[in-house]
Chain A
Amino acid sequence: MRRPVGRREDFVNRFGGGTRTARAVYAMHTMDRRSDAELVIAARQGDLGAFAVLVERYRAPALRVAYGIAGNEAEDAVQDAFVKAYRKLEGFRTDAAFRPWLFTIVANEARNRRRSSSRRSKLDLQVRDQPRSAAAAVEDVVARRDQRRRLLDVVASLPDRYREVVALRYFAGLSESETAEVLSCPLGTAKSRLSRALNLLRAQLGEEVVS
């Protein structure tokens, strides 16, 4: 008989600790065609693999939003958000959209980290030197890189509430109505906040980007 090891630890090792099972689950992610609601239902019934698919599905946009709100604390914020989301799955209505529900938690976690940071100075946001995709590489010329740096610098200097709406709408690609849902405000309010954010950016950028 195998030597008994920790109890929860053993479970975790089976499902989340880089074992063969976890790797197999990981390999299945990219081809999993189930809807968010189907995955949520499966996760509620104890299928951790289904929740892992959701984590992988929303990892990148969640990190982009959190980065836009909390900078280098993005990864910790997103990690906390997914753990909280899992623990709140029982309260999620499967006839509602999962994406805004999840991003409400992500934005909240990122916001809390931003608030609790000792110095609420301007965020240090950076543009990658190497683009993330080959398609982007083709068009990635030095001039555009400088332009992006300048734009991100201005985004970083926005007041939190405007930077947040920019992160949700443009970094995560949420629709205006999803953005409103995440911000718990009417659509009109979200639109006007977005418009105000764009105007602030335009004012800072002058004619550089805005044509």
Chain B
Amino acid sequence: MTALEEALFDLAEHLDHPDGERLEATVLRRIGEPAPSEESRRSRIRAMVAVAAVVVVIAGALVAVAPARRAIADWLGIGAVEVRRVGLPLPNGPSAHAVPGAVGSTSPTVSEGLEIATAQRRVTFRIAVPRDPTAGTLAGVEVDRRVPGGFVVLRYPRFTLIEIASQGDVPVVGKLLAPGERVDPVTVGGAPGFWVVGAHQVTYLDRSGRLRTDTVRRSGAVLIWAATGVTYRIEGLDRVAAARMAASVH
């Protein structure tokens, strides 16, 4: 190494650059925000305002249904889905109600074995499908009309894609997270979403406005994201594969 190179290495230790003491906190804060996009920012604000009032009602209902959940620590939400963290382990028992999208859902308002064209006539939003060739052949289509606007379940060999109408940005489906489970804000094609890892429980508001809770503890990771009027959920893939599949849904 030449004297000049030594002097340059030495100089590096004496540069008067900013210390960046707040760098980590600032980066982590910004990571929690969706990628900057004026439209998504505006729609997020609209969604937050609309959802805020409804969620207070749901939160009250939840507490009434299960006093133990007073320990709710925090919550998040997008489109038709809200995610909240509870301070106690989730119960693990038989399902009290068939949950939209759950395997073996049985209800007069659930239709199975449909073609997409038939399903399309029963929901208020346009059904999108994954274009990624690794998705495989569509193995089943179900429509669940217990939630306002409808709820479509598309089953593929390796994963399930669920599409939920999110009229007026009102949350109709909730997830309860046990302590220690993780929620990571992500974006899918610029739209806000969450990567939810670990056990969770599903609740939803039916068309009559009644709160239904699935008491079965579900495990596995889920990618949820919201587009205009529709909220999507992919289950059964790892994070990388889910992100790729999600990007191809249109």
Q: Which A residues are within 8 Å of any B CB, using their own CB?
A: 1-2, 4-12, 14-18, 22, 26, 44-48, 51-52, 55-56, 59-60, 63-64, 66-68, 72, 74-75, 78-79, 82-83, 86-87, 90, 125-128, 131-133, 136, 140, 145, 147-148, 151-152, 155, 166, 169-173, 198, 201-202, 205, 209-211
CB contact between A170 and one of B12, B25, B31 (< 8 Å): that residue: B12
Q: Which residues of A are found within 8 Å of B184, using beta-carbon distances?
A: 46, 48
Q: Which residues of A are found within 8 Å of B73, using beta-carbon distances?
A: 2
Question: Is B4 located at the chain interface by the 8 A CB criterion?
Answer: yes
CB contact between A127 and one of B9, B15, B25, B26 (< 8 Å): that residue: B15
Give residues of chain B (129-144) contacting chain A, Cβ–Cβ below 8 Å: none
Please tell me if the beta carbons of B75 and A155 are within 8 angstroms of each other in the complex. Answer: no
Give residues of chain B (202-248) contacting chain A, Cβ–Cβ below 8 Å: 239-240, 243
Question: Is B28 located at the chain interface by the 8 A CB criterion?
Answer: yes
Give residues of chain B (12-61) contacting chain A, Cβ–Cβ below 8 Å: 12-20, 23-35, 48, 51-52, 55-56, 59
CB contact between A148 and one of B11, B23, B33, B77 (< 8 Å): that residue: B11
Please tell me if the beta carbons of A7 and B76 are within 8 angstroms of each other in the complex. Answer: yes
Q: Which residues of B are found within 8 Å of A127, using beta-carbon distances?
A: 11, 14-16
Q: Which residues of B are found within 8 Å of A55, using beta-carbon distances?
A: 23-24, 27-28
Chain B: CB-nearest residue to A71? B17
Given A4-B55, A11-B183, A74-B18, the answer on whether A170 and B11 have CB atoms closer than 8 Å is yes
Given A55-B27, A87-B35, the answer on whether A64 and B7 have CB atoms closer than 8 Å is no
Q: Number of contacts between A and B (CB, 8 Å)?
A: 180
Q: Which residues of A are found within 8 Å of B187, using beta-carbon distances?
A: 87
Please tell me if the beta carbons of A16 and B7 are within 8 angstroms of each other in the complex. Answer: no
Please tell me if the beta carbons of B8 and A47 are within 8 angstroms of each other in the complex. Answer: no
Question: DSSP class of A's interface residues: helix, strand, loop or mixed?
Answer: helix
The 8 closest A-B pairs by CB, nearest first: A16-B28, A46-B184, A67-B17, A170-B8, A12-B32, A126-B16, A75-B18, A46-B182
Q: Which residues of A are found within 8 Å of B35, using beta-carbon distances?
A: 87
Chain B: CB-nearest residue to A144? B10
Cβ contacts B172-216/A at 8 Å (1 or 0 each): 000000000011110100000001010000000000000000000
**Could you show 11 A-B contacts with beta carbons less than 8 Å apart?**
A6-B48, A16-B28, A51-B31, A55-B24, A79-B26, A83-B31, A87-B31, A127-B16, A198-B2, A202-B4, A210-B4
Q: How far is the CB of A207 from chain B (nearest CB, A)?
A: 11
Please tell me if the beta carbons of A132 and B17 are within 8 angstroms of each other in the complex. Answer: no
Please tell me if the beta carbons of A211 and B18 are within 8 angstroms of each other in the complex. Answer: no
CB contact between B14 and one of A44, A83, A132 (< 8 Å): that residue: A132
CB contact between A11 and one of B17, B27, B185, B240 (< 8 Å): that residue: B185
Q: How far is the CB of A87 from chain B (nearest CB, A)?
A: 6
Please tell me if the beta carbons of A48 and B75 are within 8 angstroms of each other in the complex. Answer: no
Q: How far is the CB of B21 from chain A (nearest CB, A)?
A: 9
A47 to B239, CA, bound (A): 12
Q: Which residues of B are found within 8 Å of A145, using beta-carbon distances?
A: 14
Given A4-B75, A11-B74, the answer on whether A26 and B11 have CB atoms closer than 8 Å is no
Q: Which residues of B are found within 8 Å of A152, using beta-carbon distances?
A: 11, 15
Question: Is B126 located at the chain interface by the 8 A CB criterion?
Answer: no
Please tell me if the beta carbons of B12 and A79 are within 8 angstroms of each other in the complex. Answer: no
Please tell me if the beta carbons of A8 and B185 are within 8 angstroms of each other in the complex. Answer: yes
A205 to B13, CA, bound (A): 20
Please tell me if the beta carbons of A59 and B24 are within 8 angstroms of each other in the complex. Answer: yes
Please tell me if the beta carbons of B23 and A59 are within 8 angstroms of each other in the complex. Answer: yes
Please tell me if the beta carbons of B18 and A63 are within 8 angstroms of each other in the complex. Answer: yes
Given A44-B239, A46-B183, the answer on whether A151 and B11 have CB atoms closer than 8 Å is yes
Q: Which residues of B are found within 8 Å of A90, using beta-carbon distances?
A: 239-240, 243
CB contact between A147 and one of B7, B27, B55, B72 (< 8 Å): that residue: B7
Q: Which residues of B are found within 8 Å of A18, using beta-carbon distances?
A: 25
Please tell me if the beta carbons of A1 and B17 are within 8 angstroms of each other in the complex. Answer: no
Question: Is B97 located at the chain interface by the 8 A CB criterion?
Answer: no
Q: Which residues of A are found within 8 Å of B19, using beta-carbon distances?
A: 63
Q: How far is the CB of B185 from chain A (nearest CB, A)?
A: 6
